[in-house]
Each structure stands twice: as structure tokens, then as C-alpha cells.
């Protein structure tokens, strides 16, 4: 099974995942990150991890493969406020 590294980026810091985790594929790594984001964001708002005034919606996970290549960027905004997310997918009527 593939090994992925889930690096965590805030507006002011970068936390490198040195151990990584094993997932069946990139989709499973993505789903794991998506499930973790709400709890992490809540912890950040309650703790001193974030700087005062820091926008936690600007945080993101970067999923990297075992060679260190960033495969996917998962912004907190995508999960916590999808209506504001500029990456929202919409169906194109001309392709339906």
C-alpha cells in the first residue's frame, strides 16, 4: 500500500509530516484529511496554535507521495465553507 505524507500549512507556519501514513490510494488519504479538518479547525480556534487574528480557513493540508511530490492541496476552506470555495465544481450544461 502507498505511503503518503500529510503536511500541514497555516498562513504563518509549515508543519512537515515526517512519519507519513499508509493508505490504499490517494483518494483514501484525501478522505482521511477531509474527515480530520473540522476537528483540527475547532481545536485551533480553541487553542493557541493559531496566532490571534489568523484566518484558519487559510490553512491547508498538502498530501505528498513517498518521493516528496505534492499530489494534492486540501484547503480548509474547501471543507469548512464550500460556498465560498473558489474550487467548487459545477456541472456544465453543455456536457450533460
For the chain, 96 residues long, give each residue's pLDDT as a single digit of tens. 899 999 999 888 899 999 999 999 999 999 999 999 999 988 887 776 555 556 777 899 999 999 999 999 999 988 887 666 555 544 445 543
Grid coordinates of 23: 493508505
Give residue 37's pLDDT: 93
pTM > 0.85: yes or no: no
- Where are the chain's structural domains? 3-95
Locus of grid cell 499508509: 22
How many angstroms separate the CA atoms of 33 and 77, rounded? 13
CA distances from 41 to 60, 66, 70, 96 (A): 10, 26, 22, 36
Residues in the chain: 96
How does DSSP classify residue 51? Answer: P
CA atoms within 13 A on the CB side of 94: 0
Amino acid at each position: 500500500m502507498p505511503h503518503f505524507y500529510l503536511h500541514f500549512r497555516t498562513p504563518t507556519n509549515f508543519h512537515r509530516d515526517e512519519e507519513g501514513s499508509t493508505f490504499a490510494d490517494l483518494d483514501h488519504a484525501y478522505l482521511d484529511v477531509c474527515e480530520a479538518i473540522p476537528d483540527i479547525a475547532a481545536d485551533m480556534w480553541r487553542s493557541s496554535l493559531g496566532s490571534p487574528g489568523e484566518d484558519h480557513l487559510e490553512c491547508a493540508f498538502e498530501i505528498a507521495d513517498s518521493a516528496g511530490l505534492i499530489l494534492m492541496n486540501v484547503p480548509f476552506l474547501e471543507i469548512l465553507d464550500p460556498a465560498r470555495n473558489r474550487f467548487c465544481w459545477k456541472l456544465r450544461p453543455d456536457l450533460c
